[in-house]
Amino acid sequence: MPDMSPSSTAEEPAPALQTGWTGRVVGYVAVLVLVNVMVDTVLAAPTFVLPQLRDAFDTTQFAWLDSSAMLAGAMWAPLLGKTADIYGKRKVLVITLVVAGLGGIVCLVAPHIGVFVLGRALQGAAVAALFLTVAIIRDVCAPTFAMIVTGVVTSGSAVFGIASPFILEAATEVFGWRFVFVVSATFAIAAALFVRIVIPNSRIRTPGRVDVTGALLLGSGLAGVLAYISLGQEFGWLGIVPLAVLVVGVVALLVWYFVLSRIPEPVIDIRGIPLVLGLGLLVVVMGTGAYRSLLALFSLLIDVSPDDGLGYGIAGPAALGLMFGIPSIGIMLGGILAGAIATRVGPAWPLAAGVTLGTIASIVMFLIGAGSLPIAVICSFMLSLTAGSLVTSGFNLASVLAPPERQGTVSSMVMVMVAVGSVTMSFIGSAILGATDVVVGGETVNSSLGVHAYIAVAACGFILAAIPMTFLVRRMRGNVVTGVPVSHI
């Protein structure tokens, strides 16, 4: 398994696992959905104001403005997952929410992009909050019922997303882009209080130690490699600074892989990942990366009118609300349906359905959607179904492959894949747009070639995800797992 530490556990007396909807379960779900609403305000809400952020900090590096929190989340996740298994999931969740709230305050008062990115790095702790909510569900619910609840918790926050784009569009016009971070910080502190009051202590804990050095080295390596993609487009792919950052990142990853991943209790035991989980993680990293990159692109397309004659642009009345509000229904439906279907046929099939929908939507977006608001809204809705299905199914797959005492560690791996895929694809997309800029009327704008190449790369991400997806479905055919670890599959 991803964590090969001793399997002995310390169990506290606890009520029997929940097998159906009760008032207690509804209370837990309500609080955990609130946590994920906060996660959405950290990860998704800033995409609504990317053009304003870009102008406020005078930068073309929109990927750093949007994805720095997700990048930091990739660094936070392994460390917090292991810590949660050892010290308790509720305690670690409260800490991550407080840190994310402080990050929102830093972003709110940031005088320049350096401080803003620091704030986003602190907000990255919220990424851990998502997988911790899933691990808590596995603590309090029976395995089969947990699949359904996982779908509700991971996608239920989309209810807030239906109205939030319309509200944020109006509020940011009055108060500016900082309003987004006021909302984020407020939700983080409120969620921390409710978690502390309502959610029970973890009933299962794993004795062991936290490999802080390994987590920092792994995170630094990922950050170095991804930063090269961003710096290369501005300073040259063979420039001294980008190459130095790349070398540092690669060396950090190599040291971690050959040295620190071999210690008795590594933060992630990459050699111990079973084949079926590895296939699932490959699907998640490519599928969610493709979806998140298109989400960032939508924000830029909304800022351009098709009447400008650039070959793209979907600006129009209530475009922001239509692109980000209505599709939130799709995220909720995708997650809930994926959870319900998984109880009957396992999580692999809804994962495959998500990849298929994403592929179709990105191809349609490439052909006709970049310049048509109605078509773009339809594509966005299909992609939101993809997002709900991929995230819920990824967590369900990981949770049924992990023993109870390692839910935090294994769930964190799914979040690492979500973060790495999202950041990588966003940085690649940013590099494509930066390399294909054109000057129109004395102003530098994104070219039609760059926008369509961006969409094509995202479509390729979905197509590549279909390859491991095919092997995963075949591998799990006839194996409807419902909570028993199946690392032998």
pLDDT tens column, 139-173? 888 888 888 898 888 887 777 767 676 777 777 77
Q: How far apart are CA 354 and CA 391, in angstroms?
A: 9
**What is the secondary structure of 181-222 as a DSSP string?**
HHHHHHHHHHHHHHHHHHSPPPSEE------HHHHHHHHHHH
Instruction: Identify the pLDDT of residue 15.
Output: 56
Q: Please report, for residues 45, 73, 130, 258, the alpha-carbon distance to residue 157 in angstroms, rounded to integers and kept in the order given.
A: 13, 19, 11, 40
Instruction: Identify the pLDDT of residue 172.
Output: 73
Mean pLDDT rounded to a whole number for the chain: 81
Tell me which H or E stretch contains 111.
Answer: none
Q: Is the pLDDT of residue 456 over 90?
A: yes
Quickly state the pLDDT bin for 230 (edges 50, 70, 90): low
264 versus 287: the higher-pLDDT residue is: 287
**Pick from 351, 346, 285: nearest CA to 486:** 346
Quickly state the pLDDT bin for 233 (edges 50, 70, 90): low
Task: Convert the pLDDT of each residue in 418-447 to its tens digit.
Answer: 878 877 887 788 888 888 888 887 778 889
Q: Is the pLDDT of residue 19 over 50?
A: yes
244 Cβ contact partners less than 8 Å away, ≥ 6 residues apart: none
Q: How far apart are CA 62 and CA 144, in angstroms?
A: 41
Quickly state the pLDDT bin for 405 (edges 50, 70, 90): low
What would the mean pLDDT of 268-293 be, rounded to a whole number?
A: 85
Instruction: Identify the pLDDT of residue 9.
Output: 45
What would the mean pLDDT of 170-193 be, rounded to a whole number?
A: 84
Strands (E), 115-175: none
Instruction: Identify the pLDDT of residue 31.
Output: 92
The percent of residues above 90 in pLDDT, for the chain, comes to: 20
Q: How far apart are CA 319 and CA 325, in angstroms?
A: 10
- Where is average pLDDT lowest: 283-292, 333-342, 408-417? 408-417
pTM: 0.76
Q: Is the pLDDT of residue 356 over 90?
A: yes
Instruction: Identify the pLDDT of residue 324.
Output: 74
Instruction: Identify the pLDDT of residue 296.
Output: 77
Quickly state the pLDDT bin for 449 (edges 50, 70, 90): very high
Instruction: Identify the pLDDT of residue 251.
Output: 94
Alpha helices in 317-447 (DSSP H): 319-324, 327-345, 348-367, 373-401, 407-435
Task: Convert the pLDDT of each residue in 57-95 to its tens digit.
Answer: 777 666 666 667 777 777 778 788 888 888 888 999 999
Instruction: Identify the pLDDT of residue 66.
Output: 66
232 Cβ contact partners less than 8 Å away, ≥ 6 residues apart: 239, 242, 431
271 versus 151: the higher-pLDDT residue is: 151
Q: Is the pLDDT of residue 327 over 70?
A: yes
**Pick from 183, 148, 210: nearest CA to 20:** 148
